[in-house]
Amino acid sequence: MHLARFPRRFLAHLPTPLEKLDRLSAELGGPEIWIKRDDCTGLSTGGNKTRKLEFLMAEAELQGADMVMTQGATQSNHARQTAAFAAKIGMACHILLEDRTQSKDPNYNHNGNVLLDHLHGATTEMREPGLDMNAELEKTAELHRKQGRKVYTIPGGGSNATGALGYVNCALELLGQVNERALKVDHLVHATGSAGTQAGLVVGLKATNAQIPLLGIGVRAPRDKQEENVYKLACLTAEKLGCAGVVAREDVVANTDYVGDGYGIPTESGLDAIRMFAELEGILLDPVYSAKGAAGFIDLIRKGRFTKDERVVFLHTGGSAALFGYDAAFDHTGRWTSAS
Ligand SMILES: *Cc1c(COP(=O)(O)O)cnc(C)c1O
């Protein structure tokens, strides 16, 4: 693995901490739970997209772009981190936001990540749900190119082979940390969405023969589709790195039992996970991704999927800025609905 062969704009606060969660481990009666704090990557409240953007934005700069464009759901963490990265390197940023949940809640539509997108100077446009958003992105980029802009487009979630390099790097970083501290890790678990995080991790873990099983907890697509998306991107990423074939289809494992009513709709188990991490560990999760990942993780622990003497690392992918778009989920009824 020789990541220095690829252009990279260093901006993330790395390495992110690897911490033991004593109170959560005790509450659940084992396994020994650790957390990899990719919510602490430093860029505008942090999160997993920053690692991907280090490689994507370096490519944008090399291509002479003066504007970066991307897309996501209204409360997209990826959009917010792209806006912040663009601000830092002096590029214009334009974002297409898909009204995926159709919530009418003013905080959902204007607070949280949306507020931060605009504070970083990005411009945004809304799109009806259900469109091919990456196609919309390319169409809109063409309009700006006709006006003389040099536009670099980033797919949703920053999930292509370039972005996934950021998570190959995370796998190497995590291995370095556990090897230094003689921590044998039995499982790695995280929330999976647009697939770049899991694809990069699985390539990094397989190419180094780490022998750490990886489990992605889905937030949107059904299992077959999610695993297929991750596998396809992992193959492209391995090819880019010159280690094609290093990932087998069965290395890609997703559990999509914790999506609930759909992408961006909070679940009771996710809200419980948010409260547990907040009250026991002082750590903030978000209702769209990390809370559903943690809810699956906690439920699988309770079901005995991990034994008491195992050591399991939960990768915290960030997202806490979205909490301020979802405050209604924590009201006295404990409910948030997309029609509210
Ligand atoms: C984007 C995101 C994920 C999912 O990562 P993918 O690479 O899109 O699979 C998980 N957690 C948070 C907080 C995110 O913003």
158 lines ligand 1 (CB under 6 A): no
d(CA 85, CA 80): 9
pLDDT of residue 1: 82
d(CA 134, CA 96): 10
Structure tokens at 214: 């990886």
Model confidence over 142-199: pLDDT tens digits? 999 999 999 999 999 999 999 999 999 999 999 999 999 999 999 999 999 999 999 9
The residues with which 315 forms a beta bridge, in sequence order, are 36
d(CA 79, CA 137): 13
Model confidence over 40-86: pLDDT tens digits? 999 999 999 999 999 999 999 999 999 999 999 999 999 999 999 99
Q: Is the dihedral of CA 94, 259, 296, 211 positive or negative?
A: negative
d(CA 75, CA 131): 17
Query: Band of the pLDDT at 331, cuts 50, 70, 90?
Result: confident
- The Å distance, Cα 146 to ligand 1 centre, comes to 32
Model confidence over 262-287: pLDDT tens digits? 999 999 999 999 999 999 999 999 99
- The Å distance, Cα 334 to ligand 1 centre, comes to 24
Mutate to test the pocket of ligand 1, among 36, 48, 53 (most ligand atoms within 8 A of CB): 48
Residues recognised as catalytic: 76
**pTM for this model (two decimals):** 0.97
